[in-house]
Amino acid sequence: MKITLSPQRREDFLFAEISGDVLIVNGHAYDFSRMGNGDTLPRAAISDEFFAGDITKGDDKLSLTLLLPNPINYSQEQAFPVPLVDISDGRVALPLPMPDEAGNYPELPPLPELIGPGAIDWTQLVTKAMKDAAAIADHLAAMKAELAARNAQVVTQIARIQDRINTIGYGIDSGDATEEDEAEQAALMVSIAAWKTYKFALGKVTKQPTWPAAPVWPVMPAIPVIVADPEANAADAA
């Protein structure tokens, strides 16, 4: 078991004792044996004020935080306590206050008698399976959002390229287009074909065996520079 201590200036005491996955706090026994590796029990599941954070379990070890009352003559060890790691069964050795003028430390009071089991609301337990399911759902939502964003970008690019191709086509039909205009249109025809191919490839992403865990995204084509693009001109003006 690992216990992190959170110091707080107060005049009461913390008595803690360990027996396997059971932690006795001031006479109340809290049995955490129902927790599996990767599980988290929220702080709110325990009404005891001496618990100062969530309880977690990993590598078959519990980790939790307890309030550490600091008396008026608190020591540096009490004010800045180090985590207690790999604590053995028995009484938990907590930092002591400052010694008296003779250098004597106060005698440790005996552990209080066992009052009974501490109340734990197990309905609030977040298991590893629940965390894994939530992580998978979050990742799926993120991948769907990424796919939607890529598709939206394709629609925008195809529309702007096609608009420029059409505009140049009007000039060609009227005989006003220059050779440079015709060359631009030819280049844009290649570009729009690439974007349509990209759009088609995006439509197959969800069919990949690695979807949604690790989709392989098709390579996005280069975005063509269209000098006459109204949106580009508006951006330049802003």
Same domain, 18 and 82: yes
Sheet holding 22-25, edge to edge: 90-91, 16-19, 22-25, 28-31, 116-117
pLDDT at 236 over 60: no
Same domain, 136 and 122: no
| pLDDT tens figures, 100-118 | 878 887 777 888 899 999 9
- pTM over cut 0.75: no
Confidence at residue 102, expressed as pLDDT on a 0 to 100 scale: 80
Per-residue confidence at 29, pLDDT binned at 50, 70, 90?
Answer: very high
Confidence at residue 110, expressed as pLDDT on a 0 to 100 scale: 83
Same domain, 6 and 121: yes
Please compute the mean of the pLDDT values over residues 131-143 and round it to a whole number. Answer: 97
Long-range contacts of the stretch 97-105 (C-beta < 8 A, 24+): 97/70, 97/71, 97/73, 98/73, 98/74
Same domain, 94 and 161: no
Please compute the mean of the pLDDT values over residues 36-65 and round it to a whole number. Answer: 97
Q: Which residues pair with residue 63 across a beta bridge?
A: 2, 56
Tell me what percent of the residues of the chain surpass a pLDDT of 90: 87
pLDDT at 237 over 50: no
User: Which of these three, 72, 96, 126, is where a domain ends?
Assistant: 126
Token pair, residue 56, equals: 């977690």
Same domain, 120 and 8: yes
Confidence at residue 104, expressed as pLDDT on a 0 to 100 scale: 83
Q: Which domain holds residue 210?
A: 132-237
Q: Look at the chain and report how many structural domains it folds into.
A: 2
Per-residue confidence at 231, pLDDT binned at 50, 70, 90?
Answer: low
User: Which of these three, 126, 156, 184, is where a domain ends?
Assistant: 126
Q: Which of 207, 70, 229, 95 is nearest to 160 (CA)?
A: 229
* Full 3-state SS string of the chain: CEEEEEEEECCCCCCEEEECCEEEECCEEEECCCCCCCCEECHHHECCCCECCCEEEECCEEEEEEEEEECCCCCHHHHCCCCECCCCCEECCCCCCCCCCCCCCCCCCCCCCCCEECCECHHHCECHHHHHHHHHHHHHHHHHHHHHHHHHHHHHHHHHHHHHHHHHHHHHHHCCCCHHHHHHHHHHHHHHHHHHHHHHHHCCHHHCCCCCCCCCCCCCCCCCCCCCCHHHHHHHHC
Q: Are 77 and 96 in contact (CB under 8 A)?
A: yes
Same domain, 13 and 106: yes
Same domain, 85 and 154: no
Residue type, 218: P
User: Which of these three, 96, 126, 156, is where a domain ends?
Assistant: 126
Same domain, 118 and 151: no
Same domain, 144 and 208: yes
Q: Which residues pair with residue 209 across a beta bridge?
A: none
Q: Is 72 exposed, middle or buried (0-12, 13-18, 19+ CB in 10 A)?
A: exposed
| pLDDT tens figures, 159-192 | 999 999 999 999 999 999 999 999 999 999 999 9
Angle at 104 between CA 100 and CA 110, to 5 degrees: 105
Same domain, 109 and 218: no
Same domain, 118 and 139: no
Same domain, 120 and 139: no
